[in-house]
Amino acid sequence: MSTLPATPGALRAVDPPRRPWWSMALDAVSNLAVFALLGGLFYFGHHTGWKLPRAAELIGETAAAPDDWCPEHLVPESQCVECHPDLWPRREEFGFCREHGVAECVIHHPQLAQVKGEPQLPKYDTRQAIALVPRPENNSRNTLHQRVVQFASERSIEKAGIDVDVVQERPMTDAIAANGQLTFDPNRVAHLSSRVPGTIVAVYKSLGDNVQAGEMLALVDAGQVGLAKSQFLQTLVQLQLRKTTVERLRALGTSGAVPTKSLIDAEAALQEADIACLAARQALANLGFEIPEDLGAKDAKQIADDLRLLGIPSSLATALPPGNRTANLIPIRAPHSGSIIVADVVSGEVVDTTSKLFTIADPQRLWLLLNVREEDARHVAVGLPVRFRTDDGLQEVTSTVAWISPRVDEHTRTLQVRVELAHRAGTLRDQSFGTGQIILREEPLAVVVPREAVQSTGDAHFVFVRDKNYFTEGSPKLFHVRQVRLGARDNKYVELLAGALPGEVVATKGSSVLLGQLLRSSLGEGCGCHED
């Protein structure tokens, strides 16, 4: 057992055991060997250019060394065609095409097209289409088309989310869109009233019925009608009597038994009777009655019978109560074929000339009234085709422009254009709203790209065309910047009147990424968007 130190509260430190000298010498030798090995490696690497591999290379991926990267164009410095023009042959420059409004026009210079084989030019006159209506223009001083957008590899393009599509040909239409309203052709709408005051005796048609021209709708009992028939009957009988007198006197006058003055007086009386008869006949015609031409050959009783139910079919006349078979009856007839859209009449009702009893419209004859913007009005002409679709999208009809208003509405600043529709199905409705398109041009083989392929800088429009050697081994992954002239468009496509040819491949989804990279790389030297 050990003993405690003599001094209370004090502890004596215990010295650690000493290492053998030979162990310490071995550690020193090992350290010297490691330093010597590292020094040899550094010396060898310095004289041979050998470097340690990166972690990415150890797992199978390669990356450009920090000193082989172009931060301006985001590709390896050794591959950057913008920084090293000798890596990629530059195209011949042709300048701005005033005829088509684009720089480096591929229509005039098809050798610029990025296609394998013979380029295919548009199959229609794009200059005529450009001149048809105002088109978005490009600034002739914009120089972005002189640049390209380069990627390090196909994989980097995929990571950027860029899709491509082929410039193709499909039908496109240039049209002026205008809101419109359908209305019945006013020339085929009739508001019917009684020609004279009276009482409704019978009603034969009601709301919604289809009628033919001349068909009877109702009967009115009017005292003025009976009076007009009575006057006509009197004048017609008087005319018959005086005509007989003149004929008798002329027969006697040949023998000299009748004085000449008596014959003259009789002939004058005949003329007066003829005039009175004509006036009475016209009074009945004004009420809508047609007088048979042979009525004057009958006797007075037959004439009275014919006039009593004049203009009323016998089948309807016999169906009337005996007390209503008077000479006062006047029919209300349909002036043309159509459908009854208003019927405000009942039997026994007292009516006058201001009472609207029926309204008849022809549902197969309508007008489309389009409200065209003032700035578009100069492009509209009579005879241009029109397509109209109702707001519910269920019906579409076609016709042509029939009339253009000579004045602009002072409140809406629009011009009214009339389109006459002959709709045999009769399914279009009066006062329906919809959208009309006045067709200015229809091109069956327009050169188009998806709308997302077109990018703009404010003073010019571009598409990004993939280089034709994109898949060639060792060729840079390039997209050419191409100015384009825009034409017709729809919900999916936009027409390129200049700037691209069928068969070329353009960036679609993600093309904004290309524009962003183009503008970013151009900041250092000026983007060329507004050079003076």
**pLDDT tens string 159-189:** 888 999 999 999 999 999 999 999 999 999 9
pLDDT of res. 171: 97
Cβ neighbour number for residue 503 with a 10 Å cutoff: 18
Q: What letter would DSSP give residue 484?
A: -
**Has residue 421 got a pLDDT over 70?**
yes
Q: Are 200 and 218 in contact (CB under 8 A)?
A: yes
Residue 232: enclosing H or E segment and its boundaries?
Answer: helix 223-253
**Has residue 5 got a pLDDT over 90?**
no
What is the C-alpha to C-alpha distance for residues 283 and 279, in angstroms, rounded to an integer? 6
Q: How confident is the model at residue 251 (pLDDT cuts 50, 70, 90)?
A: confident
Task: Look at residue 520 and give its three-state secondary structure.
Answer: helix
Which positions ≥6 away from 237 have C-beta within 8 Å?
300, 303
- 191 token code pair: 């508001």
Query: 42 or 76, which is more confident?
Result: 76
pLDDT of res. 27: 64
Write the single-letter amino acid at 21: W
Q: Cα dist. 388→48, 221, 235, 442 in Å? A: 80, 47, 59, 16
Burial 180-202 (b: 16+ CB within 10 A, else e): bebbbbeebbeebbbbbebbbbb
What is the C-alpha to C-alpha distance for residues 334 and 204, in angstroms, rounded to an integer? 12
**Has residue 207 got a pLDDT over 50?**
yes
Q: What letter would DSSP give residue 98?
A: T
Burial 99-122 (b: 16+ CB within 10 A, else e): ebbbbbbbbeeeebbbbeeebbeb
**Has residue 16 got a pLDDT over 70?**
no
pLDDT of res. 526: 44
**Has residue 59 got a pLDDT over 70?**
no
**Has residue 120 got a pLDDT over 90?**
yes
pLDDT of res. 504: 96
Task: Look at residue 116 and give its three-state secondary structure.
Answer: coil
Q: How confident is the model at residue 90 (pLDDT cuts 50, 70, 90)?
A: confident
Cβ neighbour number for residue 360 with a 10 Å cutoff: 27
Q: Cα dist. 226→94, 217, 229, 309, 353 in Å? A: 94, 20, 5, 10, 17
**Has residue 407 got a pLDDT over 90?**
yes
Q: How confident is the model at residue 58 (pLDDT cuts 50, 70, 90)?
A: very low
Mean pLDDT, range 387-411, rounded to an integer: 92
Q: What letter would DSSP give residue 528?
A: S
What is the C-alpha to C-alpha distance for residues 529 and 142, in angstroms, rounded to an integer? 5
Q: H helices then E strands: how many in the chain?
A: 9, 24
Q: Are 144 and 460 in contact (CB under 8 A)?
A: yes
Q: How many CA atoms lie within 13 A of 215 on its CB side?
A: 17
User: Of the segments 82-91, 301-310, 394-403, which one has the largest average pLDDT value?
Assistant: 394-403
What is the share, in percent, of the chain residues with pLDDT greater than 90? 56
User: Nearest to residue 469, comparing CAs of 88, 124, 203?
Assistant: 88
